[in-house]
A and B are shown apart, each in its own frame.
Chain A
Amino acid sequence: MEWALLVEQILNGIQFGVLLFLLAAGLTLTFGIMDLVNLAHGSMYMLGAFVGATIFLWTGSFIIALLLAVPLVAGIGIVTEVTTLRTLYQRHHLDQVLATFGLILFFNEMVQVVWPLDGLTVPFPDYLTSTVPLFFGIDYSVYRLMIIGAGIVVAIAMWALVTRTRLGMLIRAGATDRTMIYALGTNIRLLFTLVFGIGTALSALAGVLMAPILGANSGMGEQIIIVAFVVIVIGGIGSIRGCFIAALITGLIDALGRSFLDVILALFIPVNAAEAAAPAISSMLIYIFMTCILFFKPQGLFGAQTQ
C-alpha cells in the first residue's frame, strides 16, 4: 500500500514538474535572450486556462480548445510584446519588474470583467476521464498521464529546436551575446518577438492543460509563476536543460514532501509534533531547497557565468 502511494505521488510530482517546465521554459528564454524580467508570464498561463476553458465549454471538444486557445493567447502575448515589453528591453530590471507588475494587475482585472468573478470550472474531456491500472495495482488518471506525455514531447521539441535548428542557433547566440548577432545582421526585433511568442504559447499550453484540474481563476498565474522563478533560479537562468531538470526535481520535492514529510519526520521526532510540523515545513520545502542550491551554486545548477 505504501508503495502504491509512493508511485502515485511520484507521478503527481512528475506531472507538476512538467507543468512547471512549460512555464519556466518561456521565462528562462525571455530572460536569457532578451534580458527581460517578465512577471506577467503567469498571466499568459491564466489567459490560456480561461480561453481554453471557454472554447472547450462552447465546442465540447478539448482538441479544438487546445488548437485555438494556444495560438490565440500567443497572439495576445505578441501584441503585448510589440506594444509594451519591446520598449523595456533596454531598461533597468526595476522598470521591467514594475511595468510587468502593471500588466499583471491589468490582466487579472480584465479576466474578472470578461469572465465570472469566481472563475470557471471545466470537466475532464470524456475520453480522458478514465484511469489506467499501473504496476503495484494502482489506478492513475489518464489525463494526468497525458499531461506528462505532452510535457515530455514539448521538452524534446524544445531541445531539438534549440540545438538542431537555425532558429535555435540564433537563440543560443542571442543568449550568449545579444549585440554580436545584431551586428551580424540578424533581425533581432523579429527574433525577440518570435521567442516571446514561443514562450507565451508554452505558458498558454500549460494553462489549457491545467484548466480541467485546477479550473480557471483570476490570479492563478502568480501562484505558480513564483514557483517557476524558483525553478529557473535552481536550474540556472537561460538554460533549457537546467530548467527541465530543476522543474522535475521541484515537482517531486513538492509532491513527495506534502504526502510523506510527516512519516519521515516521525522517524526523528514524536508523531504528534511531526504531524503538526509537516504541513508547515512541506509548504516551505521547495524554497528551502532553492536556498541550499544557491548557497553552493549562486548561479544555479546549469547557470552560465554571464556578463
Chain B
Amino acid sequence: MLKLNSLQNRRTALAILVVGACAIAPIVAGVLDEPYYINLFARLMIWAIAAISLNLILGYGGMISFGHSLYLGIGAYTVGIFAYYDIYNFYLQLTTALALGALIALVFGGICLRTRGVYFIMITMALTQMVYFLSISIEEYGSDDGLIIYVRSELGTDLISFDNPIHRYYLIFAAMIACLYFSHRLIRSRFGYVIRGTRSNETRMEVLGYPTFRYRLVCFIIAGVMCTLAGVLSANVEKFVSPDIMHWTRSGELIFMVVLGGMASIMGPITGALVFWLLSEFFSRITEHWHLIFGPFLILVVLLSPRGIDGLLSIKSSSND
C-alpha cells in the first residue's frame, strides 16, 4: 500500500486515481447503461490534452497565453474543412492540422515572444480574437453557424474506427496518455530545464549562453501542436466545429484548469480539467445561472489557493518529508 504521508506518494495516488477513472469510465458507463457518459469523459480528456499543452508554456515556461483556444480551433477546423471537401483520411488531416498549428505557433509566437508581461497576455488574446473573427467572416465554412462534419476521420482500417464510441474513447485516452508521457519526459530533459530556468530568471539563462528566445519559441510551438491535436480529436467527437471553440472564454477556462490543478505539475492539468467539469456540473445543478457562483469561486481559488490542488497535496507533508 502507498503511504499518503509524503508528497510524492500523494501525487502518485492522485495520478492513479485520475488516470484510472479515465481508463474505466466507459466500463462504468456500460454497467450503468449511460452511454452519454462516454462522450462526456471523452470531451473531458480533450480538455485535459489542451490543458497539458497550456501547462507547458504557462506552468513551466511562465508564458501567460490568453489565446490558447486558437489551436483547438485550428485542429477542429482543419478536420472540418477537409471533411467539407470529402477528404476523410485521418493521417492526412492530422499531419496538415499539426503542420498548420506549428506554422501558426511559429508566426504568432515569434510576434508575441518579442514582448513581455502584460503585453504578452493582451497580444496572445488579440491574435486569437483575430482568427476568431476570421472564422466568423468566412461564409463558405459556415461563419458563426459553424460547420457540420458529416463523416468522421477514417483510420484506413476495419479494426478501429472513430465512429465506434468505445474505440473513439480509447483513441483519445491513448492520445492523452501519450501527451502526458511526452510532457513528463520533455520537462525532465535538458530542454525542460532550460525552459524552467527562463521562467525563474531569463537573464541568467541568457548569460549562461542559452538563446532563450528560441527555446521559448520552440516550447510555444510544441504547446500549440499538442493543443491542435486536441482540436482534431474534438472535431471527431462533436462532428461539428464553430468559431465558439476559439472564443476567448475557452482560453480563460483552460488557464483556470491549469491553475486549479496546480501549475507546473504533471498531473495538474488533468486533475484541473476533471475538477473543473465536476464543479460546473455541481454548480449548474444548483442554479441555471451557475456562473454567478462560479465567478466568485474562481476568484476565491485565486486568492486562497494559488497553487491549486497540487498545492493542497503538499500541505502537512513537509513535516514528514
Contact = CB atoms under 8 A, between A and B. Distances in A.
Interface of A: 31, 37, 84, 87, 91-95, 97-99, 101-110, 112-113, 222, 226, 229-230, 232-233, 237, 279-280, 283-284, 287-288, 290-291, 294-295, 298-300
B125 A229 contact: yes
B133 to A, nearest CB: 4
A307 to B, nearest CB: 8
Contacts of B306: 91-92, 95
Say what secondary structure dominates the interface of chain A: helix
A299 B138 CA distance: 33
A101 B111 CA distance: 24
A15 B296 CA distance: 35
Q: Which of A102, A106, A222, A233 has the most CB of B within 10 A?
A: A102
Contacts of A287: 126-127, 129-130
Contacts of A104: 295
A215 to B, nearest CB: 18
Contacts of A112: 289
Contacts of B130: 283-284, 287-288
B119 A237 contact: yes
A294 B115 contact: yes
B142 to A, nearest CB: 14
A31 B122 CA distance: 12
Nearest to A232: B122
A94 B292 contact: no
A226 B125 contact: yes
Contact of A97 (B111, B255, B289): B255
Interface of B: 58, 64, 66, 111, 114-115, 117-119, 121-123, 125-127, 129-130, 133-134, 136-138, 248-249, 252, 255-256, 259, 289-292, 294-299, 301-303, 306
Given A109-B291, A280-B134, A283-B134, A95 B302 contact: yes
Question: 8 tightest CB-CB pairs across the interface, nearest first?
Answer: A106-B295, A102-B298, A287-B130, A109-B291, A105-B295, A283-B133, A229-B122, A102-B299
B255 A109 contact: no
A37 B296 CA distance: 18
Q: For chain B, what secondary structure do more than half of its interface residues adopt (helix, strand, loop), or is it mixed?
A: helix
Contacts of B111: 291, 294-295
Given A108-B291, A287-B126, A279 B137 contact: yes
Given A283-B137, A299-B119, 4 more contacts: A102-B302, A222-B248, A279-B137, A294-B123
B126 A284 contact: no
25 contacts: A91-B306, A92-B306, A95-B306, A97-B252, A97-B255, A99-B298, A99-B303, A101-B298, A103-B295, A105-B291, A106-B296, A108-B291, A110-B292, A113-B289, A113-B292, A226-B126, A229-B122, A230-B126, A233-B123, A237-B119, A290-B123, A291-B127, A294-B115, A299-B119, A300-B119
A109 B256 CA distance: 18
Contacts of A87: 303
Contacts of B299: 84, 99, 102-103
A299 B292 CA distance: 37
Contacts of B125: 226, 229
A226 B251 CA distance: 13
B199 to A, nearest CB: 12
Nearest to B253: A101
Given A226-B129, A280-B137, A283-B137, A97 B295 contact: no
Nearest to B64: A94
A74 to B, nearest CB: 21
Contacts of A109: 289-292, 295
Contacts of A291: 111, 127
Contacts of A106: 291-292, 295-296
Nearest to A219: B249
A298 B119 contact: yes
Contacts of B252: 97-98, 101
A97 B301 CA distance: 13
A300 B114 CA distance: 12
A87 B39 CA distance: 40
B295 A102 contact: yes
Given A283-B136, A287-B129, A37 B298 contact: no
Contacts of B294: 102, 105
Contacts of B117: 93
A31 B64 CA distance: 17
Contact of A284 (B66, B134, B296): B134
Contacts of A94: 58, 64, 255, 259
A257 B239 CA distance: 35
Contacts of A98: 252, 255-256, 259, 298, 301-302
B114 A294 contact: yes
B154 to A, nearest CB: 30
Contacts of A108: 291
A288 B134 CA distance: 12
